[in-house]
Chains A and B, each alone.
Chain A
């Protein structure tokens, strides 16, 4: 049964009457029920692209903030890749000092509106939360991410954001390759130190995966635009339609264009396929292609967009990560009657966030666990009309620690599907590596960097985000952008 935002708000207000404005004992705080995230009604939302999670109301954010025990040992901070002072901002939020709370977050994180939405908090700050530990359920930890989202949205909407101060001009020029989360955070910290920063983006819109990959219904693009505007307001120049590795090489930037240092945050941009028969039939797409058509090219707006998207009725999505959830939920919104996520293991091993899996289920996405695709079949016109799947069982744990799926011989069967979306990850894009002599990469094509400074094998060239980590998360990419910028600022000062 869908609970409306009004109902959730009313309950939160009742709680505030009981708990607000007096000293609370830890036991009382733990008793305050977790505030559920208000969301669009599933029946409604599968017909639009608008954001699913509506964000806490003011009463809810205060009630949720009151659940925080303000632990002296601050386990949540250790769980945050960028070490935000979490207890401090939550204390301000509980008091209704939202501008102050947002300011505390901004000291450590540049993109709180984005991270509040897409960070896997249950594996990070919320994992060691004492409240969750006491209740023996990580899902009952203080909802740090939701509070973060509320206060940073509040600051944006109330124009209460502080523009970061830019240092005295140093006369140094820095190129940032890629305008995704790693590039954005690196660019901001480099600019703050007073360097001239030019950010290069291959696509016609900046934002990287935040724009082409993550759907509008999970991360509204106006928020990404706002964050990028903050960057240009600081004086960072963003050059779109510029492919480093093709328009210019890394060496050109250093030798011809006078850049003193370069940060490469080019992302993981080469979709992986399963290499099974039939993968090039009409109706098989990488998740990147499917999502890019919908998100970047706005193909979901069939009347206005000039980029077509496949007419699907019965879609199979291969994979179990957040991207698989995004692709499945997009297909549903684009009108597919039936969408099935096919995953080799069980729900427990799925790398997607629980919240995303739950949202997908609410929207009527089916899940076929313990099934692996063997081949894709098509009709006489080469259009997909089915997938042969084999049933698996879980065997011994593999190197990732997850139990390995073992195929059960003789269990294969062809299932009807007219579209297949492959969401099994990305390899690193070879463009920069191929045009940069002396750049060392590992066997997956990821740049090899110094652990401390994130400097590559070429002096003055640093890298971070998915091009180093493989497919990871927005917050880890951001963390690396900051880590590299710190080392780069030291390097530039030494020149």
Chain B
């Protein structure tokens, strides 16, 4: 169980891992996530969205960015190693149906969980345009895979080192201006999802976002992941992680994501000592 079948470094900080997990592979749907814990008494539980799955190999694929202590340690595992604890699939799947014209927007590592949604939306007969963005060329992932699925792929980088020099919201706005879009799905940093939602609100395009709030158990038990949607408290782990972007209280989400920032900055600093992973450019 949970043996790493394949591992690939996609960019300075981003890794792809294929993990043997037949039951999760069978049950998972686009938009769902897992929680993993590396074993032992002291490791934390971290939620990661499922990027892909294979029924034939009985495996799921995770794509993650080594941003914290636990993801750095995860990145050190090699093919053949086991992940002690893997729970899933969690959360409510994406509503995949025939909308018509769909735009999928992915930023940074958020491009990974967007991939199965693009695949699903395409399979449901939608016209799917995809916008993917990253801070810089180095951090861009899944360009080829997206190109193979999307009717149109637009690539942007913040610094212009690859593709168009823009934020994802710029081409999104142009697409919304050019024709009637029926649904937008956005996954990426919360600030990106916030501005995507503000952009589409102007055009009244329904917008689905995937929220990555702080979580422990992932089953509804702790309530740490609560977010405010439409003025009501929701638990991202069971009611989400996907919500109507126009209803999300983004400022509250951003505040809550910073709950442990002081503690984590210290740990992040500590975790780089002795690990052979290069710090990203940020």
Interface centre among B43, B89, B90, B217, by most A CB within 10 Å? Answer: B217
Give the complex CA separation of A283 and B214 in angstroms.
13
Chain B residues with CB below 8 A from A286, complex form: 222-224
Shortest distance between the CB of B26 and any CB in chain A (Å)? 9
List residues of chain A with CB within 8 A of the CB of B23: 242, 247-248
Nearest-neighbour CB distance to chain B for A115, whole angstroms, equals 23
**Residue from the set B219, B222, B258 with the largest chain A CB neighbour count within 10 Å:** B222
Q: Which of B198-235 contact A (CB under 8 A)?
A: 216-217, 219-224, 226-228, 233, 235
A-facing residues in B133-161 (Cβ within 8 Å):
none
CA distance A467 to B35 in the complex (A): 24
Whether A92 is near chain B, meaning CB under 8 Å from some CB there, is no
Which residues of A have CB within 8 Å of B256? 280, 282, 382
Contact A269 B219 (CB under 8 A): yes
Contact status A241-B42, CB under 8 Å:
no
B74 → A minimal CB distance (Å): 12
Q: How many residues of B contact A (CB 8 A)?
A: 44
Given A247-B24, A247-B27, A308-B263: A288 touches B222 (CB 8 Å cut-off): yes
Q: Interface size bucket, A side?
A: 35 or more
> Chain A residues near B170 (CB, 8 Å)?
none
A interface: dominant SS: loop
By beta carbon, the residue of chain B nearest A256 is B26
B44 interface contact, C-beta 8 A: yes
- A175-216 CB contact bits vs B (8 Å, 1 = yes)? 000000000000000000000000000111000000010000
Q: Do A288 and B219 touch across chains, with their CB atoms under 8 A apart? A: no
Residues of chain A within 8 A (CB-CB) of B216 are 289, 292-293, 296-297, 307
Which of B27, B235, B255, B263 interacts with A282 by CB under 8 Å? B255
- Which B77-119 residues sit within 8 Å CB-CB of chain A? 84-90
Classify the interface of chain B: helix, strand, loop or mixed.
Answer: mixed
Q: A280-B256, A297-B44, A301-B42 are in contact. Are A202 and B87 (CB under 8 A)?
A: yes
Q: Which residue of A lies closest to B255 (CB)?
A: A382
Closest to B251 in A: A382
Given A243-B87, A282-B258, A297-B44, the answer on whether A429 and B219 have CB atoms closer than 8 Å is: yes
Do A202 and B217 touch across chains, with their CB atoms under 8 A apart? yes
For the complex, is A306 an interface residue (Cβ under 8 Å from B)?
Answer: yes
The contact string, 1 if C-beta is below 8 Å from chain B, for chain A 287-327, is 01100110011100100111110110000000000000000
| B259 sits at the interface (CB 8 A) | yes
Centre residue among A242, A275, A293, A382 by max chain B CB count within 10 A: A382
Q: With the chains together, A304 CA to B41 CA distance in Å?
A: 9
How distant is the Cα of A305 from the Cα of B44 in the complex, in angstroms? Answer: 7
With both chains docked as a complex, state the minimum distance between the C-beta of A335 and any C-beta of chain B, in angstroms.
Answer: 13
Question: Which residues of A lie under 8 Å from residue B235 when comparing CB positions?
Answer: 270
Residue A285 lies at the interface, judged by CB distance under 8 Å to chain B: yes
A273 within 8 A of B: yes
B238 lies within 8 A of A279 (CB): no
B42–A310 touching, CB < 8 Å = no
- Contact residues in A for B44 (Cβ distance below 8 Å): 297, 305-307
* B69 on interface, CB distance cutoff 8 Å: yes
CB contacts (< 8 Å) of A241 on chain B: these are 85-87
Complexed CA–CA distance, A293 and B227 (Å): 19
Instruction: Please name all residues of chain A whose beta carbon is closer than 8 Å to the beta carbon of B249 when the two chains form the complex.
Output: 280
Say yes or no for A281: interface residue by CB 8 A criterion. Answer: yes
Q: What are 11 inter-chain pairs, A to B, with CB distance below 8 A?
A: A243-B90, A246-B88, A285-B223, A292-B217, A292-B222, A304-B41, A305-B42, A306-B69, A308-B263, A382-B255, A431-B219
> B residues engaging A (CB < 8 A)?
23-24, 27, 37, 41-45, 69-70, 84-90, 216-217, 219-224, 226-228, 233, 235, 238, 249, 251-252, 255-256, 258-260, 262-264, 267
A280-B226, A306-B70 provided; 14 other pairs, C-beta below 8 A? A202-B87, A212-B221, A241-B86, A243-B87, A248-B27, A271-B223, A273-B233, A285-B223, A292-B216, A297-B44, A304-B42, A305-B41, A305-B42, A429-B219
**What are the 4 closest A-B residue pairs judged by CB atoms, nearest first?**
A382-B255, A204-B85, A289-B222, A286-B223
